[in-house]
């Protein structure tokens, strides 16, 4: 394992693929696996016309605060729950450790946290104002933040037409960046790794294996990404859609734990990858990462 290298080019051949890095070094192997995330260079090498990430209209803001005066967070610290709040104008989540420190994140409109050179104090002020209308400690928690504030733009990746070519293949966010709202990004990446490994172990030709891997994964990934987009869009709902969401959400929450609803979500949370009997391994179960 080597750190500090940036891939700039790859040259697939009949018996392998050579990766070229920014310092001029080269490495040849049987297969190049692009697990290089949302801004994947391998994706561009596989298909120069592949889509690029695009803004969702939401931002990501997060921080750790040690003191929230005037708010009793002892219950949150005691139960250890991760609280997520569908605010009127902004989604907010937080957790409290036993010492009383609060880790929080929010998904405001991107204009609140961009550009990145905007002072943290201005971001805190505008974000707290978005949360003040809600019956929650969110606004106070944000105002109590005095340390470093991390922020950035939330991006999504349109459907990638090709995950593989010759001896190059994509896994994880490089192939399918699902909305963070799903909690499924890591789960899908593990599933990719398991299915790719399965096909590589049962096919002598890596090119045949990666084509079979893409074929096996497409339908499930497309379904999860589509479901995730609906979840993410709910965070950026307009005035009318927000009212409908707020009215129906308590009902959906109360129904969510019913056996019938649990069964309906089994396709997502209880996905199972079957391994051939001669593989010497048991099946691989993928569950949500959230």
Domain end point (choices 138, 155, 172)? 155
| Distances from the Cα of 255 to the Cα of 83, 147, 258, 259, angstroms | 19, 40, 6, 9
Residue 11 placed within a domain: no
CB 227 within 8 A of CB 244: no
Residue 69 belongs to a domain with what CATH number? 3.30.9.30
Q: Return the SS3 of 132.
A: coil
Task: Note the pLDDT tens digit of each residue in 71-81.
Answer: 888 888 888 88
- What integer pLDDT is reported at residue 38 of this predicted model? 94
Is there a single domain that holds both residue 180 and residue 227?
A: yes
Is there a single domain that holds both residue 45 and residue 88?
A: no
**What dihedral do alpha carbons 112, 233, 249, 77 form, nearest 10°?**
-50
Ramachandran assignment for 151, one of left (phi > 0), alpha (psi -120 to 50 degrees), beta (any other)? beta
Is there a single domain that holds both residue 146 and residue 202?
A: no
Is there a single domain that holds both residue 237 and residue 212?
A: yes
Is there a single domain that holds both residue 141 and residue 166?
A: no
Residue 167 belongs to a domain with what CATH number? 3.50.50.60
pTM of the model: 0.81
Residue 18 placed within a domain: no
- What integer pLDDT is reported at residue 260 of this predicted model? 76
Domain end point (choices 105, 123, 155)? 155
- What integer pLDDT is reported at residue 136 of this predicted model? 92
- Count CB-CB contacts under 10 A for residue 89: 14
Domain end point (choices 155, 187, 204)? 155
Contact residues for 284 (Cβ-Cβ < 8 A; gap 6+): 190, 191, 194, 272, 273, 275
Residue 26 placed within a domain: no
Is there a single domain that holds both residue 42 and residue 91?
A: no
Order of strands across the sheet that contains 26-29: 7-12, 17-21, 26-29
Alpha helices (runs of H) in 178-258, residue ranges in sequence order: 185-201, 206-235, 239-255
For residue 236, the 8-state DSSP code is T
| Distances from the Cα of 61 to the Cα of 111, 113, 129, 153, 165, angstroms | 12, 7, 14, 9, 37
Give me the domain span that covers residue 87. Answer: 54-155
Average confidence score pLDDT of the chain: 86
Task: Note the pLDDT tens digit of each residue in 102-145.
Answer: 999 999 988 887 777 888 899 999 999 999 989 899 999 999 99
Query: How far is it, in rounded angstroms, from Cα 6 to Cα 23?
Result: 8
Task: Note the pLDDT tens digit of each residue in 172-190.
Answer: 999 998 877 677 889 999 9
Alpha helices (runs of H) in the chain, residue ranges in sequence order: 41-46, 74-79, 110-113, 120-131, 138-143, 185-201, 206-235, 239-255, 259-264, 266-269
Residue 70 placed within a domain: yes
- Count CB-CB contacts under 10 A for residue 199: 19
- What integer pLDDT is reported at residue 175 of this predicted model? 97
The two three-digit tokens of residue 1, written as one number:
């394992």
Is there a single domain that holds both residue 149 and residue 261?
A: no
Residues of the chain with pLDDT under 50: 287-290
Count of domains observed in the chain? 2
Q: Return the SS3 of 248.
A: helix
- What integer pLDDT is reported at residue 129 of this predicted model? 95
Is there a single domain that holds both residue 166 and residue 271?
A: yes
Residue 9 placed within a domain: no
The two three-digit tokens of residue 282, written as one number:
């048991």
Contact residues for 266 (Cβ-Cβ < 8 A; gap 6+): none
Is there a single domain that holds both residue 47 and residue 87?
A: no
Contact residues for 2 (Cβ-Cβ < 8 A; gap 6+): none
């Amino acid at each position: 394992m080597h750190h500090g290298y940036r891939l700039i080019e790859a040259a697939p051949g009949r018996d392998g693929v050579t990766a070229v890095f920014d310092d001029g070094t080269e490495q040849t192997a049987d297969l190049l696996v692009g697990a290089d995330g949302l801004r994947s260079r391998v994706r561009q090498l596989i298909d120069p016309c592949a889509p690029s990430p695009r803004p969702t209209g939401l931002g990501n803001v997060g921080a750790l605060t040690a003191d929230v005066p005037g708010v009793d967070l002892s219950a949150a610290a005691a139960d250890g729950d991760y609280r997520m709040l569908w605010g009127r104008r902004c989604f907010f989540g937080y957790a409290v450790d036993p010492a009383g420190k609060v880790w929080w994140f929010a998904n405001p409109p991107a204009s609140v946290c961009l550009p990145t050179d905007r002072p943290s104090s201005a971001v805190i002020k505008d974000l707290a104002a978005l949360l003040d209308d809600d019956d929650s400690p969110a606004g106070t928690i944000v105002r109590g933040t005095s340390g470093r504030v991390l922020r950035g733009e939330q991006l999504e990746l349109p459907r990638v037409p090709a995950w593989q070519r010759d001896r190059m293949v994509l896994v994880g966010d490089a192939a399918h960046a699902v909305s963070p709202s799903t909690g499924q990004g890591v789960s899908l990446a593990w599933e990719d790794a398991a299915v790719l490994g399965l096909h590589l172990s049962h096919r002598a030709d890596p090119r045949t294996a990666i084509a079979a891997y893409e074929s096996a994964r497409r339908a499930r990934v497309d379904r999860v990404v589509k479901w995730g987009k609906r979840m993410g869009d709910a965070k950026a709902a307009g005035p009318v859609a927000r009212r409908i969401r707020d009215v129906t959400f308590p009902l959906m929450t109360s129904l969510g734990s019913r056996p019938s609803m649990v069964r309906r979500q089994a396709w997502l949370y209880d996905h199972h990858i079957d391994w051939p009997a001669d593989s010497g391994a048991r099946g691989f179960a993928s569950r949500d990462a959230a």
